[in-house]
Amino acid sequence: MIIGVLAIQGAFFEHMDVLKRLNVQGKLIKKVSDLEVIDGLILPGGESTAMAKQMKENGLFEAITHKINEGCPVMGTCAGLILLSKEISNQPVQTLGVMDIRVKRNAYGRQLDSFSTMASIKKISETPIELVFIRAPYIEEVGDDVEVLCVVDNHIVVAQQNHCLALAFHPELSGIDVIHQYFIDTMIKKESQPHGSVSNP
Amino acid sequence: MNKQYELNKNLAQMLKGGVIMDVTSAQEALIAQEAGACAVMALERVPADIRKDGGVARASDPKMIKEIQAAVTIPVMAKVRIGHFVEAQILEALEVDYIDESEVLTPADPTYHIDKTLFKVPFVCGAKNLSEALRRISEGASMIRTKGEPGTGDVVEAVKHMRLMTSEIRRVKSLEKSELFHAAKELQVPLHLLEYVHEHGKLPVVNFAAGGVATPADAALMMQLGCDGVFVGSGIFKSGDPRKRAAAIVKAVTHFNDPIILAEVSEDLGEPMVGINVYSVKEEDKMADRGY
């Protein structure tokens, strides 16, 4: 299994480190040809404007949209969540529009409003884990077939729509790898298994 | 360290692989954002003009900083003089995203840097070598950049500082644990930070290049030497075609290891900033020697 990590700008090495800890091969994605062999994709944190600009220019924007629409499992964190969304309510940013969610960018304010908190994401782990929000967005509204996985202070911060997982915070910074593990086990391995072969424990 | 310090180091991690551009107006800030900058540094005069004008260079007018904050969605940084903790208090009140305690401005204190542990807002500081970097971190800096020689368009000092830092890090890494006590004494740095460097082979915070980067090739050079990202000061808005050059430097940082893309983005960028050879700058005019 190879998981691509978009490497235009931002904290992509942090995601590569998590994959290494989980014994999964990671691959930095900088141009269209890098996408060929991957089984899943991570869109990291960073500045969504900076990423979108370069992706538009080198064709990655269309290529990644196509790849996701074809069923490639994807996880977006912070700026990655913004890229996945259909609509940004407060700022004009180019997005891939593959998830039926409406997002508020820099929703909590500037760096002085960045924070971390403990919360449990029931579907992923009963144990509360640290969620790190850096100049973070949150999800204001979700479409009918989007599952809300976590709400913090009345704002949606984790949502899943089929093979797309969006997180407003940074699981790559906490040192707890359960969310990446969930992405790999339930969203990538399941995809690659033929029907009927899912084993019962 | 406290939680806020961790969050501040985390913001620097989000800036990695990106270009932070000096801007002097809301209009320039927008150009920087459209070109793909990951943050902007708001200041009244770019280092090349500070160098030319002489006199005392101070923190910028809050009005200009607020206009830039209103114009862009990316993080906004601003500079204070070395040791001027009240300028820093003012920038914190303005809620800038990062403060640069910078040798580009005229130092306000002949001995002390700001005690950055007293602030909630993050700080980035310049360093010429490992010992300066670790002293700044011990004072609370959550991001480091090379000093280089600002406002010259000559990358030689940034290269020197980066090479020196990495070679010192390699040396510390190769020491035996019992030798660290003496090394801490020699370098005049806290032992626990030196232990981190020994164990991990890198600084405990993100490390950018700054001071003299003027071309996409300069930016890629600094990335290949091991920086996490690049500050460009005078190099963009003192050049013939800022929009094009800014976008080219952004791409060069992303694709720093791909000479074919570097060749493409280096083409037809118009006039670079004129530049001053560092070795022709008088000793007393060198900014890199400011700071302790």
Facing B97 at nearest CB: one of A12, A54, A111: A111
How close does chain B come to A128, measured CA to CA in Å? 17
Catalytic residues of A: 78, 170, 172
pLDDT at A44 over 90: yes
Which residues on B lie below 8 Å from A173 (Cβ)? Answer: 10, 13
- Point out which residues pair with A155 in neighbouring strands: A152
Contacts of A134 (CB under 8 A, 6+ apart): A45, A78, A111, A114, A170, B7, B10, B11, B14
pLDDT at A198 over 50: no
How close does chain A come to B72, measured CA to CA in Å? 10
Q: pLDDT tens, B64-85?
A: 999 999 999 999 999 999 999 9
Taking any CB pair shorter than 8 Å as contact, residues of chain B touching chain A are 3, 6-8, 10-11, 13-18, 33-39, 73-75, 92, 95-98, 120-122, 247, 250-251, 253-255, 258
- pLDDT confidence band for B280 (50 / 70 / 90): confident
Mean pLDDT, residues B207-223 taken together: 97
Contact B95 A109 (CB under 8 A): yes
User: What is the pTM (predicted TM-score) of this model?
Assistant: 0.95
Inside any domain, residue A37? yes
CA dist., res. A61 & res. A95, Å (int) = 9
Greater model confidence, B227 or B277: B227
Mean pLDDT, residues B276-285 taken together: 86
Inside any domain, residue A100? yes
Note the pLDDT of residue B1.
53
Q: pLDDT tens, B190-206?
A: 999 999 999 999 999 99
Which residues on B lie below 8 Å from A105 (Cβ)? Answer: 73
ipTM of this complex: 0.94
Facing B73 at nearest CB: one of A45, A49, A53: A49
Mean pLDDT, residues B54-60 taken together: 92
Q: Among A67-71, B42-46, B229-233, which is the least confidently predicted range?
A: B42-46
CA dist., res. A35 & res. A27, Å (int) = 9
Inside any domain, residue A195? no
- pLDDT confidence band for A191 (50 / 70 / 90): low
| Host domain of residue A111 | 2-188
Inside any domain, residue A160? yes
Inside any domain, residue A200? no
In three-state secondary structure terms, A61 is helix
CA dist., res. B253 & res. B238, Å (int) = 20
Q: pLDDT tens, A128-147?
A: 999 999 999 999 999 999 99
- pLDDT confidence band for B285 (50 / 70 / 90): confident
Contact A11 B92 (CB under 8 A): no
Note the pLDDT of residue B276.
87
Contact B161, B172 (CB under 8 A): no
Which residues on B lie below 8 Å from A47 (Cβ)? Answer: 14-15, 18, 38-39, 74-75
Question: In total, how many domains does chain A have?
Answer: 1
Catalytic residues of B: 79
Mean pLDDT, residues A67-86 taken together: 98
Note the pLDDT of residue A193.
58
Inside any domain, residue A197? no
CA dist., res. A86 & res. A146, Å (int) = 12
Q: What is the CATH number of the domain that holds A21?
A: 3.40.50.880
CA dist., res. B74 & res. B77, Å (int) = 10
- Point out which residues pair with B146 in neighbouring strands: B127
Contact A109, A93 (CB under 8 A): no
Inside any domain, residue A115? yes
Q: Choosing among B21, B31, B73, which should be mutated to test the A contact, i.e. which has the most A CBs within 10 A?
A: B73
pLDDT at B178 over 90: yes
Which residue of A lies nearest to B255 if distances are taken between CA atoms? A30
Inside any domain, residue A194? no
Nearest alpha-carbon partner for A105 in B33, B72, B65, B12: B72
Identity of residue B184? A
